[in-house]
Amino acid sequence: MATVIPVDEFITDEWYPGFKPGYTHAPWYVDPVQTFRKEDEENFWFLDFHWPRGLTPMGLIWNEDGYNWACQLAAEQMPLPPGRGITCRLGGTHTYGSPLPVNDPREIAQRARRLDRALPPFLQNFDEIWGQMREEVNESWDYFSGVDLSALSLADLRENLVQARQYHKRAFEIHFQVMYPLLANYVGFYGMCTELGLDPGQISKFLQGYDTKIMETDRELWRLTTAARAAGLEPVFAAHEADGIRAALAAHGGSAGGWLTKFDDFLRVYGWRTEGSCDIALPSWNEDPTPALGTIKTFLQKGTEHDFEAARAAAIDERETAVDAARSTLTLEEQKLFDGGLASCRAANFPWWQDDHNYYIDLRISLPMRWACQAIADRVGAGHQDDTLYLFWEEIMDVSSGRRSYGEFTSLVEQRKQYFDYWLQRRPTMPKVVGTIPESVNDPILIEIFGLNSHFLRAVEASHSGGEIKTLTGVPASKGIGRGIARVLHNADELHRLGPGEVLVCESTSPNWTPAFAKIAACVCDGGGTLSHAAIVGREYGVPTVTAVGLATVVISDGDEVEVDGGTGRVTVLRRAGG
C-alpha cells in the first residue's frame, strides 16, 4: 500500500485574504498554480526549499512564470520523455511542487526520440547558446537598471512593471531551457560513473575548478576584507552586529570613509543580488548591504587571508587527480565512454552553470519588478514601500491604472502581512511531502536539485509509519565525519544561534548562510543534491555535508548529538537532547 499523507489542512479556494483567482489569472503551459484540492492527494507533493519564509502575493508570480510556465514549457521543447515539468500548489504562503508525469508509452517513446535528436546539438553548442542567452538577459538588465523610475508617470510605471514581468518570465524560460538538458546530461553521467564502480563522492570533483560569477563576487569580498584590515577597521566590525556596521563606519570617519567608497564601488558592480533565489520580497545588497558587511565581518574573524589563486589551483589539482584515479580503474573500453561523458559534461558543465546562472538570473531577476512595485507604492501613497508586494498582479494593475484606489487595499494589506507571518511561524511544522509517496521520481530537477531519491522517499514512508528513526541517509556531498550538537535552523535569521563546532541542520542553505561554514562541524540539509549550495560550500570549507536527507529537520531536534558521515551520506542521532 502506498503511503498517503493527507492534504486536508491546506484545502481552500483563497490564496490570501481577499483573493480568489479567476480562471484566467495567469497563463500556464500544462497545469496552473492552484491551492490544494482533495484529488491532489493522488499525486506526490514536496515542500519547496527555495522560499523558507513563504511568498508574498507578488512573490507568487515566480510560481506562475517559473514552474507553471517556463519549466513546463522547457519540458516540452527539449522533452523529458516521461514528464511535463513541475507544477505547484499552495500550502498557505508556501509552495509544494510536483512532477507532471507522461503515462502513455507511445508518447513517451516519441518524446524520447525527440530528445535523442535535440540533446546532442544543444550540448555541443552550449557555449554559444548560453552566451547568446546571457547576452539577452544582460541587455535587458542594462535597460531596466538604467530607467529613472522617479521620472515616470504612474501609467509608465505600470508599463515598466509589465515589461519587467515579461523580462522575468523570459529569463526563466532561458533558465529551464538550459537547466533540463544540462541536468539530464549530468545525472546520466553520474549514473554511468556509478555503474562503472566509481566512488559517487568523487564525481562532482571531475567538473570543479572553473571560475563562476559567484566566485568572482567572493573574491571581491575578500579584497574588501583585506582592505578593511589594512585600514585598521577590524575593531569596528567586531564591535557591531552586521546591521549596525554601516552606520558605525560612517560615524568612525577617517580611514573608514575611504573604505566605504571602495565598498560602494563594489556594490555598484556586485550588489545587484538578493539573499535568496527568485523572490521579489528580498532586497538587493544595494538596498540593504547588511549581508555583505556580515560576510566581511566573518571573514575578518577567520583571521587568515583566503588565497583564491591557491584554492583554485588546488581545486584543479584535485579535479585532475580524481579523474586520473577514476580512469586508472577503468578498462580501455570504459575509459573511452568515460572520456566522452566527461568531455560532454565539461563542455556543458552543469555544476559550473548552476553557480554561474544564479548571478545572472535567480539572485537578481526579480529586482526590476521590485523597483517598479516600490515606485508604485511611493506614488499611490502606500504606508511602506513593500506594501505593494502584498497585492496580486491584477490588483496592482488596477491600482497603477487608476481603476481602483490604493486606499481600498490598505487594511487588506495589513491582513495579508499577518497571514504571511502566521504561515512563516507554521513552516517548521509543515509536512515535507504530502499526497501519495511514489516508488521513484524521474525528473532530473527533482532528483538532483531537490534530492528526491529513493532514500528520501523511503525515509518519508518510515517516518509516516510512526517508527522512531535514528539513522537517516542522504546524498554524500562533502566527505569527512563530523559530530556535534545539532542546531535546527529554519531561516537565516537564526544563524546567530549556531555555535562553533555545532552541526547545522536545515531545509537548505543559500549564499547568506556561507559564513556559517567557517565554524560548523558538519551540515545536514533536507533538500539539495551533490551540487546544491551547501554541497559546494561544504566542499570548499572542508565541512562534512550530507544533502537530500529528506526529514533531517523533522527527525533531528535542536540539541540532539548527531554524527554526520559526508563520505557515506549517513546521519546518526547519537543522543537525544535531554536524554
What residue ranges bind other proteins (CB under 8 A)? 80-83, 112, 115-116, 119-120, 123, 184-185, 187-192, 195, 328-334, 336-337, 340-341, 343-344, 440-442, 444, 447
Q: CA-CA distances (angstroms) from residue 443 to 304, 450, 501? A: 43, 10, 36
- Taking the least distance from each CB to other proteins, the nearer of 189 and 270 is 189
- Taking the least distance from each CB to other proteins, the nearer of 304 and 328 is 328
- Taking the least distance from each CB to other proteins, the nearer of 294 and 444 is 444
> What does the alpha-carbon distance between residue 207 and residue 192 come to, in Å, rounded to a whole number?
15
Provide, rounded to whole angstroms, the least separation between the CB of residue 518 and other proteins: 35
- Helix 126-146 vs helix 154-195: crossing angle, to nearest 10: 160
Provide, rounded to whole angstroms, the least separation between the CB of residue 450 and other proteins: 14
Provide, rounded to whole angstroms, the least separation between the CB of residue 472 and other proteins: 21
> What does the alpha-carbon distance between residue 470 and residue 429 come to, in Å, rounded to a whole number?
19
Provide, rounded to whole angstroms, the least separation between the CB of residue 204 and other proteins: 16
Provide, rounded to whole angstroms, the least separation between the CB of residue 185 and other proteins: 5
Bridge pairing between strands 83-91 and 34-35: parallel
- Taking the least distance from each CB to other proteins, the nearer of 116 and 558 is 116
The DSSP 8-state label assigned to residue 499 in this structure reads P
> What does the alpha-carbon distance between residue 33 and residue 38 come to, in Å, rounded to a whole number?
15
Q: CA-CA distances (angstroms) from residue 152 to 231, 250, 271, 371? A: 42, 32, 24, 12
- State the distance between the two ends of the chain, measured CA to CA, in whole angstroms: 35
- Taking the least distance from each CB to other proteins, the nearer of 340 and 501 is 340
- Taking the least distance from each CB to other proteins, the nearer of 81 and 91 is 81
Cβ contacts of 302-311, under 8 Å, gap ≥ 24:
302/518, 305/222, 305/225, 305/226, 306/222, 308/215, 308/218, 308/219, 308/222, 311/540
Provide, rounded to whole angstroms, the least separation between the CB of residue 529 and other proteins: 12
- Taking the least distance from each CB to other proteins, the nearer of 160 and 177 is 177
Neighbours of 426 (CB within 10 A): 15
Provide, rounded to whole angstroms, the least separation between the CB of residue 331 and other proteins: 4
> What does the alpha-carbon distance between residue 337 and residue 154 come to, in Å, rounded to a whole number?
60
Q: C-alpha cell of 365?
A: 531577476
- Taking the least distance from each CB to other proteins, the nearer of 61 and 452 is 452
Provide, rounded to whole angstroms, the least separation between the CB of residue 476 and other proteins: 18
DSSP structure string for 3-31? -EE--GGGB-S-SBTTB---TTSS--SSS
